Amino acid sequence: MTELSVIGSGYVGTTIAACFADLGHEVVNVDVDQAIVDAINDGTAPIHEDGLAELVTDHAGANGTGRLEATTDYAAVLDTDVTFLCLPTPQNDDGSIDLSIIETAADQLGTTLAAKDAWHTVVVKSTVVPGSTEDAITPILEAASNKTAGEELGVGMNPEFLREGTAVHDFLDPDKVVLGADDERALADMHEVFDPLVERSDAPVVETDTRTAEMIKYANNGFLAAKISLINDIGNICKEFGIDAYEVADAIALDDRIGEQFLRSGVGWGGSCFPKDTAAIRAAARQQDYEPAMLDAATRVNDRQPDRLLSLMDDHVDVAGKQVAVLGLAFKPGTDDIRNSRAIPVIEGLQARGAEIVAYDPVAVENMHERFPGIEYVHTPTEALSKAAVALVVTDWEEIAALDNEFDLMSTPIVVDGRRAIDRRDGIVYEGLTW
């Protein structure tokens, strides 16, 4: 058992704090937001992640094991051995990441650690471009704590591979654990923290330095984003030839070197990670005077998919003055997150065509309403379809995939599917984006 502190209570911070408590560690989660801190201390999860509510109830609050606590006070880190930094790294206008939030936290953490005599290890969990830990975060920690990294202070980097919606599962059953450290003692501390997880999950452990650990995260997300863009590119070619890209994908997936995951072609990738991380590593590469041709192309293909969806619609109908149902607003099923959702360019394209939009999503309406307050939102897909001449499928929620007779309510049943959610059948004009 190790005493841990986790700075930041976003979806990564809260998830890892609760999971580490479940693995037997004593964990304190530090966040500036009093409401989040109060929620955790009441035994309530401040965000929705499958399985998180149960873990927070099990380990925090009056009936918990007491292994999980939250506070706004950085001094709590002094009673711990290892601190994880889980802070956001937002995107600048040029695509590069903004380190200011994590730098401020490092400064505050370092200032707090100045009062500690014993060794302490700080682990960067946030996604940061190669060199950020070594060149930016470590010097701030050293200056603020008046300690030298490798002598009185350990610094490590441990990238996360958690998907939104399955973060608890992804943490507790990882494909790999990457431990990046520039000194042996920090590495040993990280091993101690992860040993219970590694024993339980049998996950392979990759030991490396902090720069390589940082790069592994970008390589992982860049590869997956590019894999989807490649199947989208191939899918677009299939569509031109009247071939079903999903039949092609099923066949190539049988090649072990390709594998079956992330081969669902369609309207493309969104969310807070793939778009931001591909932009950040491309910007970082350019700063090194390297042109990241493949990752540039992956982004270009992704940017084009919503236009292809709209142009398939244009082939059937001029939507000016007509009502168009947009089915699904979240960037993927299982979340209310609309960041970089493909629904955004789809709605913009419909607006540019003078269409009247009727939008539906089981959970993301409130968020999309903030982004597009002027469009109509309805409570059921049936309501959207009964008003519409065309339906565009943007997110493959099960509820949307289950629609069938409801399409008969449309004035002209034209369905353009960006996610292969709907079954082609007689009585509707059906266009699949890549099939």
Catalytic center residues: 273
On whether the CB atoms of residues 265 and 230 are closer than 8 A, the answer is no
Q: Out of 51, 130, 235, 270, point to the residue binding ligand UGA (CB under 6 A).
A: 270
Strands 429-432 and 120-124: unpaired
Q: Out of 20, 84, 161, 360, point to the residue binding ligand UGA (CB under 6 A).
A: 161
How many residues bind ligand UGA, per CB under 6 A? 21
List CB contacts of 254: < 8 A, sequence separation 6 or more.
none
Question: What's the min distance (Å) between Cβ of 167 and ligand UGA?
Answer: 8
Question: What's the min distance (Å) between Cβ of 70 and ligand UGA?
Answer: 22
Q: Out of 332, 361, 381, 432, point to the residue binding ligand UGA (CB under 6 A).
A: 332
Single out the residue of 32, 116, 114, 128 nearest to residue 80, CA to CA: 116
Q: Out of 88, 116, 136, 163, point to the residue binding ligand UGA (CB under 6 A).
A: 163
DSSP conformation letters of 236-292: HHHHHHT--HHHHHHHHTTSTTT-STT---SS---SSSHHHHHHHHHHHHHHTT---
Site membership for ligand UGA, residue 262 (CB under 6 A): yes
Site membership for ligand UGA, residue 228 (CB under 6 A): yes
CA-to-CA dists, residue 98 to 46, 93, 214, angstroms = 25, 10, 15
Choices 65-73, 238-246, 268-276, 283-291 (CB under 6 A): range interacting with ligand UGA: 268-276
Question: What's the min distance (Å) between Cβ of 309 and ligand UGA?
Answer: 12
Phi, psi values for residue 4, rounded to 5°: -120, 150
CA-to-CA dists, residue 234 to 74, 169, 241, angstroms = 51, 32, 11
Question: What's the min distance (Å) between Cβ of 284 and ligand UGA?
Answer: 16
Single out the residue of 220, 205, 239 nearest to residue 277, CA to CA: 220
| Chain center to CA of 168 | 13
Q: Out of 13, 51, 61, 271, point to the residue binding ligand UGA (CB under 6 A).
A: 271
Phi, psi values for residue 86, rounded to 5°: -120, 70
On whether the CB atoms of residues 384 and 397 are closer than 8 A, the answer is no
Site membership for ligand UGA, residue 274 (CB under 6 A): yes
DSSP 333: T
Two tokens, residue 361: 């999503």
Two tokens, residue 9: 């209570």
Question: What's the min distance (Å) between Cβ of 394 and ligand UGA?
Answer: 10
Q: Which is nearer to ligand UGA, 161 or 377 (CB)?
A: 161
Two tokens, residue 350: 């419909």
Site membership for ligand UGA, residue 349 (CB under 6 A): no
| Edge-to-edge strand ranges of the sheet holding 26-30 | 68-71, 26-30, 3-7, 82-85, 120-124, 153-157, 177-181, 205-208
On whether the CB atoms of residues 416 and 433 are closer than 8 A, the answer is yes
On whether the CB atoms of residues 86 and 92 are closer than 8 A, the answer is no
Question: What's the min distance (Å) between Cβ of 361 and ligand UGA?
Answer: 14
Strand, helix or coil for residue 169 = helix
Q: Which is nearer to ligand UGA, 64 or 271 (CB)?
A: 271
Q: Which is nearer to ligand UGA, 102 or 319 (CB)?
A: 102
Q: Out of 13, 154, 156, 266, point to the residue binding ligand UGA (CB under 6 A).
A: 266
Q: Out of 84, 331, 430, 435, point to the residue binding ligand UGA (CB under 6 A).
A: 331
Question: What's the min distance (Å) between Cβ of 120 and ligand UGA?
Answer: 26
Question: What's the min distance (Å) between Cβ of 335 and ligand UGA?
Answer: 8
Site string for ligand UGA, 195-224 (x = CB under 6 A): --------------------------x--x
Q: Which is nearer to ligand UGA, 266 or 362 (CB)?
A: 266
Q: Which is nearer to ligand UGA, 184 or 398 (CB)?
A: 398
Of residues 66-95, those binding ligand UGA (CB under 6 A)? none
Site membership for ligand UGA, residue 246 (CB under 6 A): no
On whether the CB atoms of residues 85 and 122 are closer than 8 A, the answer is yes
Q: Which is nearer to ligand UGA, 120 or 332 (CB)?
A: 332
Residues that bind ligand UGA (CB under 6 A): 160-164, 221, 224, 228, 262-264, 266, 268-271, 273-274, 277, 331-332
